Structure 1
């Protein structure tokens, strides 16, 4: 089961200049809990936005560059190859960025979306979710508080 996992503003903003435009500690904890022990598929720029590889996860990085190599990660040149390299994991996750989500939404089985309640200036966006293809099966609202500048809702979609 291939799952897209993302946090996006109400205008589908993902980030700007290869960084998030909000800080949501509870969402980071949820992301860590859900993806730990699994393959995480991402584009090169998303991978390079991390100070170091995320612990307890198998990194599968998609790049067009034939020369790109990083110790301890799997480098591939297409989403199809990334999925093939994740076959032994019953629950791989696509974690970004915007272009990779656009490719993967057509083959994914589930979307775990944190909808950040706000509109943000961004240069990367999550694709529109077609409600003819996706069913909202769970949602959990979190209000803003001392640790969270924005309210947000966890949304789980499954392919119809």
Structure 2
């Protein structure tokens, strides 16, 4: 489902075979090509991420407008916008996108709670499949493969990027 302004919502994540995306507020692998892919995919777009993810990075990512999602109404950080629910974040993104070129999108960049909250609003998932099964305390949300269609698969050095598009059911009456 696109946002009210007509923009697409895309979730971008690196996910291990066991669903792990994080361990102790960090990524349990270092694959520079995947970091480059995340940058290339999200650059120039509005990026929504959780407070813990933002704090783990330590700064706003350059070339993106960042919205940090947090329940803490007193939290703020320099260089980012703040929202307190996924719907507030998407509404803020719509406002920001109305001021920008039409090809910009809303990108969801984690962590687990933000991915889970955004999943019902997402049009696309761009998932780097990491062929590892590390210990971790943060997992990507489960999603029904019946509601998503794999539209592209691209092997890279040490991982594979998979693009999923939401399948919209059509009622014939």
1:86 correspondence with 2:100: no
The one of 58, 74, 78 equivalent to 1:71 is 78
Task: Supply the distance in 2 between the matched residues of 1:142 and 1:91 (Cα, whole angstroms).
Answer: 24
Counterpart pick for 1:98 among 91, 112, 133: 112
1:18 alignment counterpart? 25
TM-score normalised to the size of structure 1? 0.92
Tell me the residue number matched to 2:161: 154
Distance, in Å, in 2 between the alignment partners of 1:97 and 1:45 is: 7
Is there any run of 5+ residues in structure 2 with no aligned partner, and where? 1-7, 168-173
Q: Which has the higher helix share?
A: 2
* Separation (CA, whole Å) in 2 of partners of 1:81 and 1:155: 28
**What is the Cα deviation at residue 51 of structure 1?**
2.7
Q: Separation in 1 of the partners of 2:49 and 2:60? A: 12
Superposition CA RMSD, Å = 1.1
* Residue 104 of structure 1: how far off its partner (Å): 0.9
Tell me, yes or no, if structure 1 residue 32 matches structure 2 residue 46. no
Deviation at 1:93? 0.4
Matched, 1:133 2:147: yes
1:47 maps to 54
Q: 1:129: Cα distance to partner?
A: 2.6
Pick which of 87-96 and 21-30 moved more.
87-96
Secondary structure in 1 matching 2:126: strand
Superimposed CA distance per residue, residues 12-61 of structure 1 (whole angstroms, 9 cap, x where no aligned partner): 10010110000111111111111111111011000100132111111101
In structure 1, list runs of 5 or more residues that go unmatched.
Answer: 144-150
- How many residues align? The count is 153
For residues 111-130 of structure 1, the C-alpha deviation after alignment (integer angstroms, 9 at most, x for no partner) is 00001011111100001231
How far is 1:142 from its partner?
A: 2.5
The TM-score, its normalising length taken from structure 2, stands at: 0.85
